[in-house]
A and B are shown apart, each in its own frame.
Chain A
Amino acid sequence: MQREITVQVDGTARRLTVDTRTTLLDALRERLGITSPKKGCDHGQCGACTVLSGGRRVLGCLTLAVTQDGAEVVTAEGLAAEPTTAEPTTAGEQQADGGLHPVQRAFIDCDALQCGYCTPGQVVSAVGVLDEFAMGWPSAATEGPGAPRLDRAEVAERMSGNLCRCGAYVNIVTAVLRAAGASPAGRPTGPGVTG
């Protein structure tokens, strides 16, 4: 059964007719050609399809597109600023970035990519993590009733919904801390800290 929906995707209003069975992930990839959200497990277990909806990180594979009528969705592609119009010849390293989001920049600087399949989801998730942290939201790694302190244990716990089979985790945690302007040191991660 078909439904017409309008979704704001990466700053642009997109109107499309979708089957009610279509997930947001498939609508983005197959209908709108936005392939940065990746289809990993397609069952909510890996986080590769993470996008922001209404500013919150969610899983595109478990979201029906019909429920997103009127929603504002941001993918990894939409995090960067519009490409610069400056002459390429005058571009230094900074301009070669376009206007990368600080999290994207930090992933490159910290070599947190490896094969890269999970990276768009990791990057979007990290943006959501930093926003949730800024709101004072706790996690299972937060000690005590007060405001959480952003350190390695917090980042690891908060990013645990994004799985990476290449083992880039260590650099991902460092990249997220760098993007937040936090020290890459801090409490160690591991069982018992997050459990």
Chain B
Amino acid sequence: MKPFDYLRPADAADAVRSVAGNPDAVFLGGGTNLVDHLKLGIVEPALVVGLAGVLPAEIEELGDGTLRIGAGVGNSELAADPRVRERFPVLSQALLSGASGQLRNMATVGGNPLQRTRCVYFQDVTTPCNKREPGSGCSAVGGWTRHHAILGASEHCLAVHPSDLAVAMAALDARVRTLGPAGERTIPFVDLHRLPGDAPERDTVLEHGELITAIDLPARPIARRSAYRKVRDRASYAFALVSVAAAVEVEDGVIVDARIAFGGVAHVPWRAHRAEEALRGSSASDRSYRTAADAELADARPAEGLDGGNAFKIPLLRRTLTATLRDLVGEDPR
């Protein structure tokens, strides 16, 4: 690990100034991802700016029912919040399906969406990786692709975004509030992350020195009937092969509205607009759920690889979406 200076800023504005003014500076939230990257040599900052005690750590209910979740709120606290458990079960379940108790106690709401991919080539500094070292190539192309993208990938990067929280937030139309060198702004959660294109080194649309200060979770009555389902290689404490965040509203056996997002399949938490569109007005049946999955997966491009590739994710995601919706709605009525 290269030597670095450590700063505990006075407040969020001080933190932003300190990082924005130094191209080799980084923010340190819970540290569960950054400290690992420091050890692996993935990042070598000159300055680490600690955020503990600097960012709001409360969940505030606004007049319109929006929950404003301070960026310093812990993943554990957010998952346990009674309002979240009651009104947004998909979010609580997504949080609880991620990592371990120890890591959830350390992780923060502001840092979690900014964690970086667990692509093995990104994490292994001895291999080429366009995300870690632009222009060096992508080792995942033709490599081990079990944990890689089937949607939205480019020839430059097949990595997937690892956050479970982000998948639920994308489904729930959350908004990200930031403070940067240019002041405050609000970004729809689904616009926070970028597809890789030819610049996979940029995970998000945030500028250097721009800090997430809160995530706004708007009131969504549909979210009371919502769930997160995660499929992985062991029962707990593993990243998703595929995951589904879903909320549905059903009247007389017909789906009136749906909110769907996928994890483990793209460089971003993947909001499944086409699946939602296919579901609206459809009967609440397995057939509709499969049709919706196929609508979203029509453009899926599985990767070939040394391990047989990841085409298995297409039927796996179709079945996972179907099972999630079936559980939410109840028994298939026909």
Say whether A associates with B.
Answer: yes
The residues of A with any CB-CB pair to B shorter than 8 Å are 1, 3, 19-21, 23, 42-44, 47, 50, 56-59, 61-64, 66-67, 125, 128-129, 132, 135-140, 142, 145, 156-162, 190-195
Q: Check A161 against B48 for contact (C-beta < 8 Å).
A: no
Q: Top 4 closest A-B pairs, CB basis?
A: A161-B100, A160-B236, A137-B80, A20-B6
Please give, as numbers and ranges, the residues of chain A lying within 8 Å of B232 by CB-CB distance.
Answer: 195
* Interface hits, B225-239 → A, CB 8 Å: 230-232, 235-237
Contact of B80 among A138, A156, A158 (CB under 8 A): A138
Point out which of A67, A135, A145, A158 has the most chain B C-beta atoms below 10 A from its C-beta.
A67
B76 touches A43 (CB 8 A): no
Question: Which single residue of chain A is at the shortest CB-CB distance from B232?
Answer: A195
**Which of A62, A63, A191 has the most C-beta atoms of chain B within 10 angstroms of its own C-beta?**
A62
A residues within 8 A CB of B100?
47, 160-162
Q: Bound state CA distance, A156 and B237, in angstroms?
A: 11
Separation of A192 and B234 alpha carbons in the complex (Å): 10
Chain A residues within an 8 Å CB radius of B230:
195
Residue of A with least CB distance to B77: A137
Chain B residues with CB below 8 A from A139, complex form: 96, 101
B3 and chain A: residue at smallest CB distance: A1
Q: Name A60's closest neighbour in chain B (CB-CB).
A: B102
Q: Which residues of B contact A142 (CB under 8 A)?
A: 96
Beta-carbon nearest neighbor of B32 in chain A: A62
Q: Are B4 and A20 touching (Cβ within 8 A)?
A: yes
Chain B contact residues (Cβ within 8 angstroms of A): what range? Answer: 35 or more
- The segment out of B85-93, B155-163, B206-214 that lies at the interface is B85-93
Closest to A69 in B: B8
With A59-B106, A140-B93 in contact, do A66 and B50 touch (Cβ < 8 Å)? Answer: yes
A residues less than 8 Å from B35 (CB atoms): 23, 44, 61-64
How far, in angstroms, from A189 to B231 measured CA to CA in the complex?
17
Inter-chain contact B101/A57, CB cutoff 8 Å: yes
B226-256 interface mask toward A, CB cutoff 8 Å, 1 = contact, 0 = none? 0000111001110000000000000000000
Least distance between A150 CB and chain B CB atoms (Å): 14
Residue in contact with A195 in the complex, picked from B39, B79, B235, CB distance below 8 Å: B235
| Chain A residues closer than 8 Å to B92, beta-carbon distance | 138
B200 within 8 A of partner (CB): no
A64 touches B85 (CB 8 A): no
Interface contact A190-B235, CB-CB below 8 Å: yes
**How far is it, in angstroms, between the C-alpha of A57 and the C-alpha of B76 when the chains are bound?**
11
Most chain B beta-carbon contacts within 10 A, residue among A59, A140, A195: A140
Q: What are 12 A-B contacts defined by CB distance under 8 Å?
A: A19-B3, A21-B3, A21-B38, A59-B103, A59-B106, A63-B31, A64-B48, A137-B76, A138-B80, A140-B97, A145-B85, A158-B101
Q: Using Cβ atoms and an 8 Å threshold, which residues of chain B touch A136?
A: 80
- Candidates A3, A58, A191, A194; contact of B102 at CB < 8 Å: A58
Contact call B36/A62, Cβ cutoff below 8 A: yes
Contact of B105 among A19, A23, A57, A193 (CB under 8 A): A57
Q: Are B102 and A47 in contact (CB under 8 A)?
A: yes
Contacts of A125 in B (CB 8 A): 101-102
Instruction: Determine whether B187 belongs to the interface, using a CB cutoff of 8 Å to chain A.
Output: no
Please, how many angstroms separate the alpha-carbon atoms of A161 and B103 in the complex? Answer: 8
Could you say which residues of chain A place their CB within 8 Å of the CB of B105?
Answer: 56-58, 128
Is B151 an interface residue when CB atoms closer than 8 A count as contact? Answer: no
Q: How far apart are A125's CB and chain B's nearest CB, in angstroms?
A: 7
With known contacts A128-B101, A138-B85, A1–B31 Cβ distance under 8 A:
no
Q: How far is the CB of B8 from chain A (nearest CB, A)?
A: 8
The contact of A145 among B1, B89, B102, B231, by CB within 8 Å, is B89
Interface presence of B5 (CB below 8 A): yes
Residues of A within 8 Å of B97, CB to CB, are 140
- Please report the C-alpha to C-alpha distance between residue A21 and residue B31 in the assembled complex, in whole angstroms: 12
User: Could you say which of B3, B86, B101, B235 contacts A132, with CB atoms under 8 Å apart?
Assistant: B101
Residue numbers in A under 8 Å from B36 (CB-CB): 43-44, 62
A43 touches which one: B31, B39, B80, B101 (CB < 8 A)?
B39
Contact B4 A1 (CB under 8 A): yes
Nearest CB on A from B53, distance (A) = 10
Q: Are B101 and A161 in contact (CB under 8 A)?
A: yes
Contacts of B93 in A (CB 8 A): 140
Q: Is B265 interfacial (CB-CB < 8 Å)?
A: no
Q: Which A residues touch B31, using CB under 8 A?
A: 62-64, 67
